Amino acid sequence: MQELATSELANIPNMSAEAFLKAKTQASLQTASDGLDIPEYVVVPHEAGVQRGLSILPPHSDMDVFFDIEGYPGLDGGLEYLWGNSYFDIDGTRTFKDFWAHDRGQEKQNFIEFINWVYGRWRSDPAMHIYHYGNYEIAAIRKLMGRYGACEEMVDNLLRNNVFVDLYNVVRHGLMIGEPKYSIKNVEHIYRGRRETDVASGGESIIVYEEWRANPDGDNWQTSAILNSIRDYNIDDCDSTQELADWLRLEQAKHNIPYLLPDGEGEKELSEDVTELTRLRDAILEKADAIENAKERSLLETLAWSLEFHRRENKPVWWKLFDRLGLGELELYDDMECLTGLIRTERAPFPPTKKARNMAYEYRFDTDQPFKGQGKSFFILGHDDLKARRVEYDADAGTIALQNKDELPRCISIIPDSYVNPNPIPMAIKSAVEGSIFIIIRVPTCSDLAIHILYKTNLDFFIDRQYFPVENNHLRGKSPELFPIDHFRYQAISRRWHRVEGWPLPFQAQWRLPL
């Protein structure tokens, strides 16, 4: 550490000069902070107009929320069991609001109640923000939104309007601190005293919660000493997040760093197609909930969730893009789908084809940088409205040519546009679901077995094709619960039944769709 801090080298192989300088500065700060209660720190220079570091820290709002989740990985898919929030009431007193869940049903309810609570605060004051430290909280919200198909539009509105503020991103791009890690437990050495809670870390809270699940000493934090200790730890995390935001604003003001993020767009008005799909989905799910037969219920649920499959699956694509747009060149360097530090070559702008109207611009990049070279269309980092199309790529020479109607900047970094337009498939699925009418037909037989025939006009692939053998002029054998049959096969069976039994084939129909 000491050797790195005092090194006179300007750069080393396989590391950019910027990254090496940052490593030397970090080493110097840690060396100087050794043995100090309050570590040394510096505010890094903020480039004018660049949305990074302290320039993405919003002003205070009385409706702000300081948020922290405690999660338990011991269940398949994890369980987000405690959602803690510090905020200020109308009297200006800091208070705490918590949501607890010990099973999937409670987890879903917690998620819905939390989103509705913070969404209401945001609607009452669009300048309000939800502060957290690290990506865990956002990842959990995205996961639960997909898991339960709930609060999708509210979460999208909160994310699109930059309501969630990750203070870790503010710290790591805005300051350098003489600590070995940039966890909130390390950073808070600057602005608050030592913690005194029984639970000392997130890892320890997992162990303690697992002990409670194995041997509960009460049902809730009021009756359980274990849960109460976890709650105290979570309150400390939330309070520390609030105190960190206040301290960062002091540094922001001291160094005259303006807040650069633009105002949000507000609530997005949903298209008629989206609202229509949502209404149809919810109607089918409501119908499915009232059906006792597991196969019938599963069929309707599959149909319902298929309506928004493409829209739901595209959300992670947009989330990943927005996450990347918030990173710097050093963080994107190891992303195999991105290229950073591109510098325009001496080659003059050129039309990539004889008929091309837009010019292409050649760039040189570091050949040691990992890059798969598969992207066709790219966003330009720091220019959200600027995209370019790849027309040439030479991995060995370290060159790439990008085409755009406007001249591209001399130095750029590029992020792939991974979105694939699914149209017209979603509307085709909607038409197929709407055109599917299901009738359950009960056929009386001479035995105690009842044959269930599923008559349907569409979507054969949702049902296993199993047919009854006809032996000795009777339908015999152990019958499956659902029997696919089309109109012509029904007529054939009906005629044969009439010849054998001497009377028409009766049926009882129960309409499932349309709704």
Q: How would residue 31 be classed by pLDDT, with cut points 50, 70 and 90?
A: confident
pLDDT digits (tens, 9 = 90+) for 221-275: 999 999 999 999 999 999 999 999 999 999 999 999 999 988 777 776 655 556 7
Q: Residue 408 and residue 385: Cα distance in Å, rounded?
A: 12
**pLDDT in the model for residue 439:** 36
Stretch among 128-142, 220-234, 455-469 having the lowest mean pLDDT: 455-469
Q: What is the DSSP letter of 473?
A: T
Residue 460 is predicted with a pLDDT of 36
Instruction: Give the SS3 label for residue 389.
Output: strand
Q: Is the pLDDT of residue 9 over 90?
A: no
Least reliable range by pLDDT among 24-38, 86-100, 373-387, 430-444: 430-444
The residue ranking higher by pLDDT, 455 or 311, is 311
Give 315's pLDDT tier (boundaries 50, 70, 90).
confident
- 61 band by pLDDT with thresholds 50, 70 and 90: very high
- Among the ranges given (36-40, 316-320, 509-513), the one the predictor scored with the smallest mean pLDDT: 509-513
Distance between CA 243 and CA 10 in Å, rounded? 38
Residue 68 has pLDDT above 60, yes or no: yes
Question: 400 and 365 in contact (C-beta within 8 Å)?
Answer: yes
The whole-angstrom separation of Cα 430 and Cα 307 is 6
3-class state of residue 367 by DSSP: coil
Asked if the model's pLDDT at residue 470 lies above 50, the reply is: no
Name the CATH topology of 320-416: Elongation Factor Tu (Ef-tu); domain 3 (2.40.30)
Q: Which of 105, 101, 70 is nearest to 84 (CA)?
A: 70
Residues 6+ away with beta carbon under 8 Å from 112: 148, 150, 151
Band (479; pLDDT cuts 50, 70, 90): very low
Instruction: Please give the structure tokens belonging to residue 305.
Output: 């969730």
DSSP string, 143-180: HHHHHHT-SHHHHHHHHHTT-EEEHHHHHHHHEEESSS
Report whether 177 contacts 39 (CB < 8 A). yes
Supply the CATH classification number for the domain 53-254: 3.30.420.10
**Res 306: pLDDT:** 84
- Mean pLDDT, the chain, rounded, equals 80
Q: What is the pLDDT of residue 241?
A: 97
Would you place residue 491 in the very low, low, confident or very high pLDDT band (cuts 50, 70, 90)? low
Measured between alpha carbons, how far is residue 511 from residues 183, 440, 454 in Å? 58, 7, 11
pLDDT of residue 4: 76
Q: 86-95, 160-169, 201-210, 502-511 — which is least confidently predicted?
A: 502-511
Name residues whose C-beta falls within 8 Å of residue 448's C-beta, 6 or more positions apart in sequence: none
Percent of the chain topping pLDDT 90: 44
> What pLDDT shows up at residue 482?
39
User: pLDDT-based confidence at 486, cuts 50/70/90?
Assistant: very low
Q: What is the length of the chain?
A: 515
Per-residue model confidence (pLDDT) at position 271:
57
pLDDT at 46 over 70: yes
**What would you measure as the largest C-alpha separation in the chain, in angstroms?**
103
Highest mean pLDDT range out of 230-234, 428-432, 462-466, 472-476?
A: 230-234
Tell me, rounded to whole angstroms, the distance of Cα 324 from its chain centroid: 13
Residue 121: band (very low, low, confident or very high) from pLDDT cuts 50, 70, 90? very high
Least confident of 2-16, 92-106, 432-446: 432-446
Q: Is the pLDDT of residue 492 over 60?
A: no
**Residue 227 and residue 233: Cα distance in Å, rounded?**
10
Do the beta carbons of residue 312 and residue 155 sit within 8 Å? Answer: no
Q: Which helix (H) or strand (E) is 491 found in, with range?
A: helix 487-501
Question: How far apart are the C-alpha atoms of 66 and 86, rounded to whole Å?
Answer: 5
pLDDT per residue as tens digits for the range 186-220: 999 999 887 777 676 777 889 999 999 999 999 99
What pLDDT is stored for residue 71 in this prediction? 94
- The better pLDDT of the pair 367, 401 is held by 401
Please give the pLDDT value at position 273.
58
Question: Contact at 8 Å (CB) between 292 and 300?
Answer: no
Q: Which range in 13-22, 191-200, 219-228, 321-330 is most confidently predicted, on average pLDDT? A: 219-228
Q: CA of 375: how far to CAs of 296, 340, 414, in Å?
A: 43, 14, 10
pLDDT grade, residue 449 (50/70/90)?
A: very low
Percent of the chain with pLDDT over 70: 81
DSSP states of 26-92: HHHHHHHHTT-SS--EEEPP--TT---GGGG-PPP-TT-EEEEEEEETTSTT-EEEEEEEEEE-TTS
| DSSP secondary structure of 130-144 | EEESSSHHHHHHHHH
Task: Select the more confidently predicted residue: 464 or 69.
Answer: 69
List the chain domain ranges.
Answer: 2-35, 53-254, 272-307, 320-416, 435-501
Average pLDDT over residues 469-485: 39
- Say what the pLDDT of residue 16 is: 66
Residue 37 has pLDDT above 50, yes or no: yes
The DSSP H or E segment spanning 348 is none
